[in-house]
Amino acid sequence: MIEHLVNLLYIQFYQDLQLSELLINDEIDVNETVIDNLSVVLDIIGYPKDNADERGKLSEQDIYNRDFFYQGFTELEYPNIHSELLVKEKIRDFVDWVCGETLELYKQNKLTTDDFLKNIMDIK
């Protein structure tokens, strides 16, 4: 399963790279193009969806925000962006980190299996 998650994020990385090159050559308006496989990967792993808009209704420890995952993914440093193997190794490390962060929520009893299923099925 983890290989599928890595491949999804590699596709996002590669498409972002291609779009950047098109932008540099003034061949495309990148603002009109959005690739968000990371959101899919976070859903599959089971990290809760953002609920920061409910600040005030929930305590701070019950607020989940995915922004730091997006920031972490965009700030990954690749030793060689043209080496699929090296890029996928960095992405694998990132996915392992996301899984670890999600596992911590389960260990702290902030998430349960029911939460995971509700997230997948989009049940409130």
Query: What pTM was estimated for this model as a whole?
Result: 0.79
In angstroms, what CA-CA distances link 96 with 2, 14, 72, 80, 102? 9, 20, 13, 20, 10
Identify the DSSP state of 79: S
Identify the DSSP state of 104: H
pLDDT grade, residue 98 (50/70/90)?
very high
Contact by Cβ (8 Å): 22, 86: no
Report the pLDDT value the prediction gives residue 52, as an integer from 0 to 100: 67
How many domains, the chain? 1
Contact by Cβ (8 Å): 89, 95: no
Please, what is the average pLDDT of the chain? 82
Residue 33 predicted with pLDDT over 80:
no
Q: Domain containing 15: what range? A: 2-121
Contact by Cβ (8 Å): 97, 26: no
